[in-house]
A and B are shown apart, each in its own frame.
Chain A
Amino acid sequence: MSHTQEVVAKEKSVEENRASSYQSVRPSVDIHEDKEGVTLLADIPGVSREALDIQIDNEILSIDGRVELALQNSAKAGHQATRYQRSFSLSKELDGEQVEATLKDGVLALRIAKRQEFKPRKVEIRTA
């Protein structure tokens, strides 16, 4: 009897472990650069606004999004969790203070502006 209980307890702890562990996925990204800044597009299907965390700390931009699918078969739900994680280092040209993020249909768009001094400037010619 006690042996059975032990086995059950063991299986349960394995289940719990699985439930709390995520499959870490590195999201695919496209990066576009123009005169004013860069746009980073990342595919993170299944991540809601609430489950998405974007941080810029010490010139490191990190994206961390969790997917918790509301699976019909709830006993399996823990196995289906995905976590999108990826970090980028920002070069000195980019302004970490000027970042805009939008999320639509599982695509995250991050717009990061270039610092003023790195933007092309038009020199006005004064009339004499």
Chain B
Amino acid sequence: MFARLAGFDHSLTNNFMQLESEMDRLFETAGLRSLHHTSKRLAQPQMHVTSTEAQVDIYLPLAGIDPKAVNISLDKDQMTISGQRDLEKSDSAKLMKKERFEGEFHYQINLPDDIDQERVEASYQEGVLHVKIARREAAKPRQITIQ
């Protein structure tokens, strides 16, 4: 199963590279050529989810979006973050290279079952959406003092 997965990934990467080299050639006419050797990995910024006894934190890289247009919903232990990213368009400029994501996005995150539905906070800074979800008191380990 892993071999199959790896194979899939590989072909996907190859297609991507091919596309990329075409774009680069195209772009030479615009005067800016991308140099490949600096970073060959085509890794994308990833979502990070961390949890402590007190809370769960979700960090989602979403550059250049209107935070008001992001929809965050919670259904039991399943969180959905969705929205749309629109890029500015210019009539006078020619688009020489287009890699940045445009359109709808949709993320689904499974959370622990002890989260507190009422205590969810979200902030957006430097293009990163941070959602903080508190966990219920009962789930925290309690210190029992001997009297």
Neighbour of B34 across the interface among A76, A86, A105, CB < 8 A: A86
8 Å CB interface, A72-128 against B:
72-73, 76, 80, 82, 85-94, 104-107, 112, 114
- Do residues B43 and A25 form an inter-chain contact, with CB atoms below 8 A? yes
Neighbour of A33 across the interface among B45, B87, B96, B128, CB < 8 A: B96
- Do residues A26 and B39 form an inter-chain contact, with CB atoms below 8 A? yes
8 Å CB interface, A17-45 against B:
23-26, 28-35, 38-41, 43-45
A67 vs B62: C-alpha distance when bound (angstroms): 13
> Could you count the A-B residue pairs with CB atoms below 8 Å apart for me: how many are there?
152
How many whole Å from B29's CB to the nearest CB in chain A? 9
Band of interface residues on A? 35 or more
- Do residues B99 and A88 form an inter-chain contact, with CB atoms below 8 A? no
Residues of chain B at interface, number, CB under 8 A: 45
Q: Is B116 an interface residue (CB 8 A)?
A: no
Candidate in B57, B63, B64, B101 with the most chain A CB atoms within 10 angstroms:
B63
- Given the known inter-chain contacts A45-B61, A45-B62, A105-B64, please indicate yes or no for A33 contacting B31, CB distance below 8 A: yes
- Given the known inter-chain contacts A73-B50, A86-B34, please indicate yes or no for A46 contacting B42, CB distance below 8 A: no
- Do residues B87 and A43 form an inter-chain contact, with CB atoms below 8 A? no
Contact with A along B118-142 (1 / 0, CB 8 A): 0000001011100010000000000
Neighbour of B127 across the interface among A30, A45, A73, CB < 8 A: A45
Chain B contacts of A39 at CB under 8 A?
Answer: 93
CB-CB nearest in chain B for A46: B128
- Given the known inter-chain contacts A24-B41, A26-B41, A41-B100, please indicate yes or no for A94 contacting B93, CB distance below 8 A: no
Chain A contacts of B27 at CB under 8 A?
Answer: 31
Q: Is A71 an interface residue (CB 8 A)?
A: yes
Name 11 interchain pairs, CB-CB below 8 A, sorted by A. A31-B27, A32-B93, A32-B96, A43-B45, A46-B59, A69-B48, A71-B48, A80-B59, A89-B33, A104-B64, A106-B64
Interfacial residues, chain B to chain A (CB-CB below 8 A): 27-28, 30-35, 38-39, 41-46, 48, 50-52, 55, 57, 59, 61-65, 87, 90, 92-101, 124, 126-128, 132
- New A-B contacts (14) at CB < 8 Å, excluding given A71-B50, A72-B57: A25-B39, A25-B44, A25-B45, A28-B100, A30-B87, A30-B95, A30-B98, A30-B100, A44-B127, A45-B45, A45-B128, A46-B126, A82-B45, A87-B35
